[in-house]
Structure 1
Amino acid sequence: MAGLEDGREWAYRVDPYGFERPDDFDYASYEAFFSRYLVVLTRRAIKWSKLLKGKNSIQKSLKDMNRTFPDNVKFRRTADPCLQQTLYNVLVAYGHHNKAVGYCQGMNFIAGYLILITKNEEESFWLLDALIGRILPDYYSPAMVGLKTDQEVLGELVKMKVPAVAELMERHGVMWTLVVSRWFICLFIDILPVETVLRIWDCLFYEGSKIIFRVALTLIKQHQAFILEATNFPDICDKFKQITKGVMGGQLD
């Protein structure tokens, strides 16, 4: 019985996607939030299912393998099955499929998330192809032209929507690529909670890359006062690191 209890406690400390929860995780708040959010998730699942039935269009060196979700029990070598092999298969297949891109850092996290959700190599491959080949062209090409362009576009949008933050960045010579590049490359993975990232991805697949700008602008606008407390270059960078800590899934709903 002791072993059974230990197993239940361990399972409770791991979220539905395999990530271990920290020691100070607020289970009560999470359960209260999720009991309300479950209704929303159910409604979205029905809507998403109808969309998929109506539209059938979504169908180099890999040294990053061991660094992909080290805190996820499903990607550990001791896991059975270990999703590292599935991830490797998807990334190698995509490298052969799209030789212009091959493999780019950040793709491992995106493919890893897709595998966790679909639990299927082929579905993960085609979703990855939809993201990289159609929705985010030139994000992961060697020159990353699309990525650099969109970060500059975000800078222009901030000038229009949150001018005080844009002025602060310009005054201290902080380039947008220094503070938001990971938001764009990893599509908010490890930036926002899992449930929030998946909600963003639902919108991303359905509406396209404009969703990335909406989320980025929302984060900046919501934390404008906090960002404006910065008084120098490193302080600004630190503020951007901190604004995504503790963001609850419902805030971007």
Structure 2
Amino acid sequence: MNSKSNGTRTPQNNVPAGRAADRLPRVDPYGFERSVDFDYDSYEELMSEYLVVLTRRSIKWSKLLQRGNKLQKNVKVKRYVRKGIPNEYRALTWMAASGAQEKLERNPGYYHALLTGEHDARLVEVIRTDLHRTFPDNVQFRKTSNPCLQKTLFNVLLAYGHHDKAVGYCQGMNFIAGYLIIITKDEEKSFWLLDALLGRILPDYYTPAMLGLKTDQEVLGELVRVKVPAVWQAMTEHNVMWTLVVSRWFICLFIDVLPVETVLRIWDSLFYEGSKIIFRVALTLIKHNEALILQARSFPDICDHFKQITKGAFVEDCHGFMQNIFAEPGSLSMGTIQKLRESCRARIIAEESR
């Protein structure tokens, strides 16, 4: 699974063109190599506008967190998070907003104890098998890199596997942990953020039965039935199960689905507001591209169109995209989601027990 750098892509052009290609590095700020068809000129144009936004946000965040102020959850901070967390404050904010910092402070030495204890040989083997498959296009995860983040990733996944034996290790966790490591640059913080995601924000996504994941995909279907009924009708007519087109969105939290900067902006709000953000993103992608999806005339068409809607200028403009996710789907409360989860979960359990 390869991660995407943000920027407009033009598959027909195999050689980066224009002066921007000479100025911009071939590796993005997170260590991901830019593809041969990366449109450097469009990216530079987009970033020239976004950097102004980032600078403005950075000044506001520095004032918010000056003199060692602890991050308090309130309407002002929520608004700040939705408008984007500057990278230098991202790890701190994710840790505070998700409760990971509190758990780290309440459990001193716990993470290191997990690593120094006796290890499950099967768990070790499964994690090691996946290490070389994690971000092959990221220079920081290559064995030739110094330091090589593969070792850090291994430690975080191994510790988590012993911490939550019901989950252990499941494919997809390596990419999420990898992103956490890239941002925090800290093993222990990455471990506690992974715990916040898998244990509280996305419960039962990675357990063997994956009941939480299956449930949330069905919840999305119910939300589409209400908010974008024509798409729900098309999915039903062509007999396309939601899991076929959105499972990667949920299980990898949009990694390798959307551009890096867009994914990080989504995660800013995910850590602060919880799992309803995933539904906002999914609904925005579907609602905004309703006309394209409805052009599908067959099962393969729908699958192909769902791949298309995660590409292009709409998702590459991470700031504009995030403004859309809080406007385009309309109202969406956790109360509504919880009710849908209860009914969908009961239906899935009943179907699987037959």
Scaled by the length of structure 2, what TM-score is found?
0.66
Amino acid across the alignment from 1:30: Y
**Does the C-alpha gap of structure 1 residues 97 and 23 become closer, same or farther in structure 2, counting only changes over 3 Å?**
same
Tell me the SS of whatever aligns to 1:67: coil
2:159 corresponds, among 89, 93, 107, to 93
1:18 aligns with 2:60: no
Give the count of matched residue pairs.
Answer: 246
Q: Within the alignment, does 1:66 sit opposite 2:79 as a pair? A: no
1:115-173 deviation line (CA, Å, top 9, x unaligned): 01111101111111111111111111111111111100000000111111100100011
1:235 matches 2:301: yes
Question: Which of 35, 41, 45 is 1:32 aligned to?
Answer: 45
Alignment CA distance shift 1:175-1:95 (3 Å)? same
Query: Mean alpha-carbon deviation: is it higher for 51-60 or for 153-162?
Result: 51-60
Query: TM-score, normalization: structure 1?
Result: 0.91
CA distance in 1, matches of 2:70, 2:182: 19
AA at the equivalent of 1:209:
S
Please, which of 195, 204, 210 is the counterpart of residue 276 of structure 2?
Answer: 210
Pairing partner for 1:117 from 161, 183, 188: 183
RMSD after superposition: 2.1
- 1:45-84 matches, within 5 Å, as 46-47=60-61, 50=65, 53-54=71-72, 56=96, 57-59=99-101, 60=123, 61-62=126-127, 63-84=129-150
Percent identical pairs in the alignment equals 72
Distance in 2 between the 1:10 and 1:72 partners? Answer: 20
Q: Which amino acid aligns with 1:58?
A: A
Aligned equivalents of 1:10 and 1:96: distance in 2? Answer: 46
- C-alpha separation between the residues in 1 aligned to 2:215 and 2:165? 22
- Per the TM alignment, residue 241 of structure 1 is displaced from its structure 2 partner at its CA by 1.3
Deviation of the 1:28 alpha carbon: 2.2
Higher RCO (Cα < 8 Å, 6 or more apart) = 2
- Give the greater-gyration-radius structure (CA): 2
Q: Against the structure 1 CA distance between its residues 52 and 128, is the aligned structure 2 distance closer, same or farther, given a 3 Å change threshold?
A: farther
Match of 2:259 among 183, 189, 193: 193
Answering whether residue 54 of structure 2 is matched by residue 41 of structure 1, we say yes
Given that 2:156 and 2:190 are in contact with CA atoms closer than 8 Å, whether structure 1 keeps it comes out as yes
Distance 1:43 1:11, change over 3 A: closer
SS of the residue corresponding to residue 12 of structure 1 reads coil
| Deviation of the 1:11 alpha carbon | 7.5
